[in-house]
Chains A and B, each alone.
Chain A
């Protein structure tokens, strides 16, 4: 029995954590120490002592190194970015409306999908088109990078297929066939070994990235699957369906672990928190629900009681640490909630049309909302104030995304253009 031997520390800013790279049985392994509750007011010594106590792999001799790392994390948390975003580039991206857009982790590339049946790869810093991924026979609806690696892209189409591409060369690796109708949501697992796809055919499928073959079909939903998400460790996946339920599945066996029943309308969006202990779902029934992953029980319901929305909930997501979540609604507001208490912290009021997309920046200091009123807005998560309006699109905005550093934003619109905004 060999003891693990610590080789290297790696720093992770969002969410805050320290990754240990160690050797055991001749193999290089990684382990993450999550510091999700770190705040700028924390004392470095206290945090370091806690870590030393909890992690036997780190000896007293590493105290100084550890101090430096924790100090760096705290320093990053304290950095306040009050700078406004300005329009950097307008890309006449596609000849038909855009669907979704996404950054790679390093933020130097992003991708856009479109009704024109292509996915395009862009250079964020120059606005140049790097590749056009052609081959789908209908709308390219769902797209993703295999972050954090960023060397592969997967596209899901209304043509019922999914395609796996080399992000650097634009070369097609595989076409994944098997769904009976449109593919509308997809994701890589965090290890980039598996692709999950969700379809209007009521099923989700798992695919092997290396071989391009189907691993299993997740059977059980009785209506369209429109949302899916892996947990951080990649052993569970959650699906949200128009059958009003969400389901949590075991990735290895393909078995359903829990059916999360309670919504009285179609589920629009689902997500795990970073720790994988909770998940959130939004629904056309105007509520969002928090669920305990271990038991499958509903922890809280947010509805139109002054705390909730007065119209359909169209998108929900956690911040990077999972301390808060935000919901977006057809009532043209978004709401930020405290995950622990379920309390509504802020109602983000100002849009003049439904909000179809919402997300936190990786720092958790801002929320971006995309609306049918042709604007995106940035909100301060501490005060709930609107910091800025991103104006210029001439039709409704379908998608928006922050890069990992939180200093670039891309917005994709029905007006066929994509806009890059920078700090």
Chain B
């Protein structure tokens, strides 16, 4: 994945969808990406930039961009908004203290012109932890029920053991305007 590959990713081909994975630091974005591509998830370090993986799902090619979530680099998320087909927002469901912070970041994203109408999948991650908030409470905390301008879904999951990830992907590829008709999905994952 050198610079040339990045340019080829910028240029989107027919039948390919671009999925943008965002969320706070330590939400588990990279772990989800690695788990979805069957890679080892035991040694994952904070993402200083971005990771890109191409995943095949039911015959569709999903180009998934995982962008670092640290506060200092969140202003640069908009570098990656162009041509996004779906937004995947990842949340650490066990980090109750930062639920408000992640909700604020999500609200800002949903106001972005370039992401207008882009389907949103929120992944309520880290459900394997005992103190994890259930998905419906996360949805309430994030005020998801007030979203009217796009399809959205919340999916409880655990990137560590893989639970719920495939269900999330199922929803994602079924979105009108997703892969089948060149659509966009935004995943929001809460660890």
Contact indicator A226/B4 (Cβ below 8 Å):
yes
Say yes or no for A268: interface residue by CB 8 A criterion. Answer: yes
B3, B11, B48, B49 pick with most chain A CB within 10 angstroms: B3
Contacts of B72 in A (CB 8 A): 95
Interface range on chain A: under 10, 10 to 19, 20 to 34, or 35 or more? 20 to 34
Say yes or no for B148: interface residue by CB 8 A criterion. Answer: no
A318 to chain B, nearest CB (A): 19
Contact indicator A96/B49 (Cβ below 8 Å):
yes
Contact indicator B49/A97 (Cβ below 8 Å):
yes
Say yes or no for A18: interface residue by CB 8 A criterion. Answer: no
Contact indicator B11/A356 (Cβ below 8 Å):
no
Contacts of B78 in A (CB 8 A): 138
Say yes or no for A99: interface residue by CB 8 A criterion. Answer: yes
Contacts of B48 in A (CB 8 A): 95-97, 395, 415-416
Would you list which residues of chain B between 14 and 36 have a CB under 8 Å from chain A? Answer: none
Interface size of B by CB at 8 A reads 18
Say yes or no for B171: interface residue by CB 8 A criterion. Answer: no
Would you list which residues of chain A between 116 and 136 have a CB under 8 Å from chain B? Answer: 116-117
Say yes or no for A100: interface residue by CB 8 A criterion. Answer: yes
A341-365 near B? 1/0 per residue, CB < 8 Å: 0000000000000101100000000
Contact indicator A226/B2 (Cβ below 8 Å):
no
CA distance A266 to B8 in the complex (A): 9
Contact indicator B8/A372 (Cβ below 8 Å):
no
With A96-B48, A158-B79, A415-B48 known to touch, is A398 a contact of B7 (CB < 8 Å)? no
With A95-B73, A268-B4 known to touch, is A242 a contact of B11 (CB < 8 Å)? yes
Contact indicator B2/A396 (Cβ below 8 Å):
yes
Contact indicator A414/B79 (Cβ below 8 Å):
no
Contact indicator A356/B3 (Cβ below 8 Å):
yes
Would you list which residues of chain B between 98 and 127 have a CB under 8 Å from chain A? Answer: none
Contacts of B10 in A (CB 8 A): 182, 200
Known: A117-B79, A200-B11. 4 other contacts (CB 8 A): A97-B50, A200-B7, A223-B11, A226-B4
